[in-house]
A and B are shown apart, each in its own frame.
Chain A
Amino acid sequence: MKQQAAAASTLATRPLGRNRWKPLGIQAGLIAAPFLLFGLFLMFYDVNPISLYGSMISSTFGDLYGFGEVLIKATPIILTGLAAALPARAGMINVGGEGQLAIGALFATWFAVFYLHSMPFWLGIPLMLIAGALGGATWAGITAFLKVRGNLNETISSLLLNYVAVFTVGFFVHGLLKDPESFNWPFSPEIAATLRLPIVNGTRLHVGIVIALALVAVVWYVLKYTRLGFRIRVLGSNNLAAERAGFKVSWMQVGVLLAAGALAGVAGMIEIAGIEGRLRPATGANYGYLGFLAAWMAWNSPIRLVFTAFILGMITVAGNSLEISSGLPSSSVHILMGLVLFFLLGIGRRFSR
């Protein structure tokens, strides 16, 4: 309950947070409503929503492999979700998770291919992780610079930079980082086997999820129990008060954005070291936006984010099977996500009346 009160400090959640006495059932109902709407939508296209949601759940919890697949999808969503949630707590909207992830993946691959290939795993993997974080932070640093120095709204600049990031990755995989043995396919050489994250037997699941959960715990702890976290929350709920209290608002904003970028960059590194093994032009595409969505659904609370990211992971996996089994494009999942967010946004205010 206390946590909900804390969540009240953010932009989006202020109305919802006030509502802590209302039964949890209503909140669950609100989460369910868009799924019902999407079910109706599916029925128009001759897809049985009940069997779809049913298969979604059974494929997730039915066997270890399916569960692992969902966790694999949830891992980057958790991290890019943190990259959106943390700035949101400080009153900023970072939509740049997409680009920050891509550049993180680029940095991680670059280091893995050129410098770390002969290192033992206990040294190479952490260094690669740092490289990824560095890449994400660099990209977020541009947004931060533009915000602090140029007074440029971070939403717009981070959104525009996502497009630039995609082209940057495209430039590298077509050029400097291109695999010489790839016969003109645009991807990087494969990273050394020692740099791949350890995998759970019988699945594709790697230890990335542990890293993600550890970072969730760190962010949660910092926000909740440290002075820095308190300052971030003050900044988010009232930046005038923060200024009057003598906080160095600009520096805090830069710091928060850099941290957010680093988190998204780690997601990029995990995609490379855990799943793909090499950089492609579309590595990690859409995870940034999914993470943003997960953060909003979780009202920017790190703990809830784990659950919403898991749900989105389930939907993404289901979206893939949807495409295979019923021929619906995976983009229809975007529609579901849009609906979920519309509900959350629209009801946020009305709820408190």
Chain B
Amino acid sequence: MITDILTGAIRSGTSVMYASQGELISERAGVINLGTEGSMLCGALGGFAVTVWTGNPWLGTLAGGLCGLLISMIHAFLVLTCGANQLATGLTIMFFGMGITSFFGRGFVSEQIVGFNPVPIPLLSEIPFLGKVLFNHDPLTYLSFILVPLLWYLLFRTRLGVILRATGEREDVLFASGINPQLIRYAAVLAGGFLAGVGGVQLSVAFTHSWVENMVQGRGVVAVALVIFASWLPFRAMLGAYLFGAAQALQLTVQQTGLGISPFFLFMVPYILTLAALYIVERKKRSQTPEALRKVFTGTSAG
């Protein structure tokens, strides 16, 4: 049973994990993007559609990522070029994403795809406990295992990472050294959108193998919350995402065992868990918040 929950945690947490890693990049540059939800939806639909048309899930992944990127481009433009309020713009993108995906997604509701399926890694998957939990997943999940350390390395061990973090903390320093912070922010938001889109693809093409209207169900919002929970650190965001995933996996397991717990309570658990985790962490610290983000949170930024 524990193996089931842990495997399920990774399987259903991966989409949130992608999105939260993307959000982390963009928040490190000082832009909070609640439109992650919209990016995920568009990625889920775009990836699913292309997989249906071409039969190739990898092309689907690419397409889904690009859909997410396109949606986040609206956010980048409105926030960075027009100076709109970040939270409100993100919400609008969320609604917009719901609208266009349920509009264009009508034809795909009953489609079936092969998509990504779990591929056990030859030797490693035979390790008694860990093998089943860690090495029996779809390719996108394996990719996400590599993504997190890579992102950590990029953020904290490369020049690019320093630039990215400086954008969120002290943009005048960047100006002084001849780098345009706006450009970095654009890049960060777009990268975030791409990863959120890939997260959506993981959901529709690898996890559920179907498209359902509004299937992301707040995972994008959870991803944003998890980044704050994680104090803007990739590995902690990964942990948070798997916690969310575990809460969802718990649903299935409990339902299978037939305990008399209302399913609605179980549906709530992941969201409540996210809020509770956020509350506990957020009470203590404030200092890790990237400088530019704090302005958004306290509502003193440009409207």
Contact = CB atoms under 8 A, between A and B. Distances in A.
Contacts of B67: none
A170 B298 contact: no
Interface string B150-181: 00000000000000000000000000000000
A155 interface: yes
Interface in B271-299: 271-272, 274-275, 278-280, 282-283, 286, 297-299
Contacts of A348: 82-84, 303
A170 B280 CA distance: 28
B256 interface: no
B279 A342 contact: no
Closest 5 CB pairs of A and B: A334-B99, A338-B96, A171-B264, A11-B303, A331-B102
6 contacts: A11-B88, A153-B228, A153-B297, A156-B278, A170-B264, A331-B102
Contacts of A14: 303
A337 B100 CA distance: 11
Contact of A160 (B95, B96, B218, B300): B218
Contacts, number: 161
A345 B102 contact: no
B264 to A, nearest CB: 4
Contacts of B282: 150-152
A348 B87 CA distance: 15
Interface string A139-160: 0000000100111110111011
Interface in A92-106: 92-93, 95
B85 A12 contact: yes
A160 B274 contact: yes
A234 interface: no
B264 A334 contact: no
Interface of B: 34, 74, 77-78, 82-85, 87-89, 91-93, 95-96, 98-100, 102-103, 106, 213, 217-218, 221-222, 224-225, 228, 262, 264-265, 267-268, 271-272, 274-275, 278-280, 282-283, 286, 297-300, 302-303
B32 to A, nearest CB: 9
Interface in A58-108: 91-93, 95
A14 B83 CA distance: 12
Contact of A167 (B34, B264, B279, B286): B264
Contacts of B103: 328-329, 331-332, 334-335
A13 B303 contact: yes
Interface of A: 10-15, 91-93, 95, 146, 149-153, 155-157, 159-164, 167-168, 170-171, 174-175, 236, 238-240, 289, 292-293, 296, 328-329, 331-339, 341-342, 345-350
Contacts of A12: 85, 88, 303
A332 B278 CA distance: 34
B272 to A, nearest CB: 6
A292 B90 CA distance: 13
A336 B96 CA distance: 8
Contacts of B302: 349
Contacts of B213: 331
B84 A346 contact: yes
Nearest to A170: B264
A124 B77 CA distance: 52
Given A329-B103, A335-B96, A348-B84, 9 more contacts: A11-B88, A164-B268, A167-B265, A331-B102, A333-B99, A337-B99, A338-B96, A341-B95, A349-B302
Contact of B77 (A236, A339, A346): A346
A150 B283 contact: yes
